[in-house]
Amino acid sequence: MTEYLERESANEAGGVDELASDTNAGEGRRSFLTGVSALAVGALATLAPVGAAIAAIFDPLRRASDERDLVLVARLSAVPEDGSPRKFTVTADRTDAWATYSETPVGAVYLRRVGEDIRALNVVCPHAGCFVGIAPDRSRFACPCHRSSFDLDGVVNDPSSPSPRDMDTLDVEIRNEDEVWVQFQNFLPGRKDKTPV
């Protein structure tokens, strides 16, 4: 018949030397060397699977974030004339692990007119990543999660607001008279500065 061992228990065998202390000195040393060898050889045997497992687990860290050019988000005519914000879906090509999607929703922006200009704000709250809503009276942005509050320019307008920074502005370009192109990006939440994800 054969011998079994829960290998982990062997690896945790910190108190082994004391336990073996009743044997005489020479035998004790030999036993110690055998024990060290056993652990070393055991560790060597698990090196490849554990190494491959660690490499695979940390694989996401070496994946670069998507770099996007400006994307066409809306026609100018669709942005309200009165300067109130409106939500637009941002669609773009995307590779999600193995799958490639063309023109798939990747996020949303609020667009609003300020004079001749178009301003774009990422809908994601800089506090904890919730989807910021427009307050019912359309006078400000209000986050439904932790009550961050921003004015229509996306600036924090309430001292009790938990958001560490203003809503994230995005670069906008008008092309061919009436196409609104936005440099869509997400930023790390919970920080004072705007750091791209």
Query: Which chain residues interact with other proteins by CB under 8 A?
Result: 1-7, 9-10, 12-16, 19, 31, 34-35, 37-39, 41-42, 44-46, 48-59, 62, 95, 97-101, 104
**Hey, is 170 helix, strand or coil?**
strand
Taking the least distance from each CB to other proteins, the nearer of 17 and 171 is 17
Q: Whose CA is closest to 79, among 149, 181, 168?
A: 181
Q: How far apart are CA 151 and CA 166, in angstroms?
A: 9
Q: How far apart are CA 45 and CA 47, in angstroms?
A: 6
We find the least distance from the C-beta atom of residue 83 to other proteins, in angstroms, to be 38
Cβ neighbors of 43 (< 8 A, separation 6 or more) are 11
Taking the least distance from each CB to other proteins, the nearer of 25 and 57 is 57
Q: How far apart are CA 135 and CA 105, in angstroms?
A: 24
We find the least distance from the C-beta atom of residue 46 to other proteins, in angstroms, to be 7
We find the least distance from the C-beta atom of residue 49 to other proteins, in angstroms, to be 5
Taking the least distance from each CB to other proteins, the nearer of 16 and 172 is 16
Three-class SS of 53-91: HHHHHCHHHHCCCCCCCCEEEEEHHHCCCCCCCEEEEEE
Taking the least distance from each CB to other proteins, the nearer of 34 and 139 is 34
We find the least distance from the C-beta atom of residue 54 to other proteins, in angstroms, to be 8
Taking the least distance from each CB to other proteins, the nearer of 32 and 131 is 32
We find the least distance from the C-beta atom of residue 57 to other proteins, in angstroms, to be 6
- How far out from the chain centre does Cα 153 lie? 25
Asked whether 120 and 170 are in contact (CB, 8 A), the reply is: yes
We find the least distance from the C-beta atom of residue 74 to other proteins, in angstroms, to be 24
Taking the least distance from each CB to other proteins, the nearer of 38 and 130 is 38
**Hey, is 191 helix, strand or coil?**
coil
